[in-house]
Amino acid sequence: MSQSPNHPGRPDPDELLALALEAARRAGELLRDGRPADLGVTATKSSPIDVVTEMDVAAEKLITGFLAEHRPQDAVLGEESGDSRGRSGIRWVIDPLDGTVNYLYGLPGWAVSIAAEADGETVAGVVAVPMRGETFRAVRGGGAYRRGGIGAAAAEDWQRLRCRPSPPLSQALIGTGFNYVTEVRAGQAEVVRKLLPLVRDIRRGGAAAVDLCDLAAGRLDGFYERGLHPWDLAAGELIAREAGARSGGRPGRPAGRELSVLAGPGVFAELQPLLEEWGAWHD
């Protein structure tokens, strides 16, 4: 594998991207074509409504197996399999099925999300949304792109993404998501109660990775959520940032478990202080 021109010793992010694209394509096909008619829940995690299906596990096995074949020395953080150490400085951050509840109910808003980190920094990310026929990708510093989906020119053409120019918050369409833990949700409901009268409207799509790509594609003006895991965030955050979104958590902190806020710069500047004032990062 060739090395990054900017960081000698690191693999070229485009080569990591190519692996992520192929792994996401294979996992997306498995999930789309292999969904059993009688799909059920095989386990629960943080609460009884935080579910795992046999297909989450099968998709993660496919992805980790594929990556291990090509890059056996890399570390992996997967939603279903946890953390495994590596020796290369590269770590793959994988959500094999973001939007598991949508998938369980037969709703189309679910995705495969794969990011590659080099020494802790996300350098490549892919989000595949198979039921829309749409794939999003980004390499750090190289812009964000989408292929396929509604209004796409030709199925194989990659189209550069830019966030929508920021409207005032009162005209902004804001995406969000809700945690699976009841106490966290109660706090999130309170924040939505305060935000809803101040914005154009709110959307809850059910898959954070898809929301972040929709932000990148100009289909949302902003997004926030408390409690996201690295696998929900990594690829979508890079894609949104490369499309021009600002990303952060509480003021001065990066997006993460505590709070993630991503939006065009104008909306970000209005939204982040309100979320801070309302204590959107705690119960």
One of 115, 139, 207, 217 touching ligand IPD (CB under 6 A): 207
Is 38 within any annotated ligand binding site?
A: no
Residue in the structure block whose two tokens are 């710069």: 265
Residue 53 near ligand IPD by CB under 6 A: no
CB of 4 to ligand IPD, least distance (A): 30
Measured CA to CA in angstroms, residue 57 lies from 27, 42, 173, 229, 238 at distances of 11, 10, 34, 17, 25
Residue 258 in the binding site for ligand IPD (CB under 6 A): no
Among 232, 235, 250, 259, binds ligand IPD (CB under 6 A): 232
Q: Are strands 158-160 and 144-148 parallel, antiparallel or unpaired?
A: antiparallel
Phi (first) and psi of residue 262, to 5 degrees: -135, 135
Q: Closest approach of Cβ 207 to ligand IPD, in Å?
A: 5
Of 78, 130, 148, 227, the one binding ligand IPD by CB under 6 A:
227
To the question of whether residue 157 is assigned a binding role by annotation, the answer is no
Which residue is closest to ligand IPD by CB? 177
| Contact indicator for 218, 132 with CB cutoff of 8 Å | no
Long-range contacts of 103-107, Cβ-Cβ distance < 8 Å, separation of 24 or more = 103/31, 103/35, 103/39, 103/53, 103/55, 104/39, 104/41, 104/51, 104/53, 107/206
214 binds ligand IPD (CB under 6 A): no
Cα–Cα distance, 210 to 18 (Å, whole number): 20
Number of residues that bind ligand IPD (CB under 6 A): 15
**Which lies closer to ligand IPD via its Cβ, residue 28 or residue 227?**
227
Is residue 83 within 8 Å of 99, Cβ to Cβ?
Answer: no
Those residues whose C-beta lies under 8 Å from the C-beta of residue 154, and which sit 6 or more positions away, are none
- Which residues in 171-200 contact ligand IPD (CB under 6 A)? 177-179
Contacts of 159 (CB under 8 A, 6+ apart): 145, 146, 147, 152, 153
**Touching ligand IPD, residues 108-167 (CB under 6 A):** none
The region of 65-73, 94-102, 122-130, 249-257 touching ligand IPD under the rule CB under 6 A is: 94-102
**Which residues lie below 8 Å from residue 158, measured CB to CB, with a gap of 6+?**
137, 145, 146, 147
Tell me whether strands 222-225 and 201-203 are parallel, antiparallel or unpaired: unpaired
Q: Applying CB under 6 A, which of residues 12, 60, 80, 98 lies at the interface with ligand IPD?
A: 98
**Stretch of residues binding ligand IPD (CB under 6 A), selected from 1-9, 69-77, 93-101, 270-278:** 93-101
Nearest approach in angstroms of CB 101 to ligand IPD is 6
Q: Map the footprint of ligand IPD across residues 64-83, applying CB under 6 A.
A: 79
Residue with Cβ nearer ligand IPD (208 or 239): 208
Give the residue from 76, 58, 80 showing the smallest Cα distance to 20.
Answer: 76
Q: Does residue number 60 form part of the binding site for ligand IPD (CB under 6 A)? A: no
What residue ranges bind ligand IPD (CB under 6 A)?
A: 79, 95, 98-100, 177-179, 206-208, 225, 227-228, 232
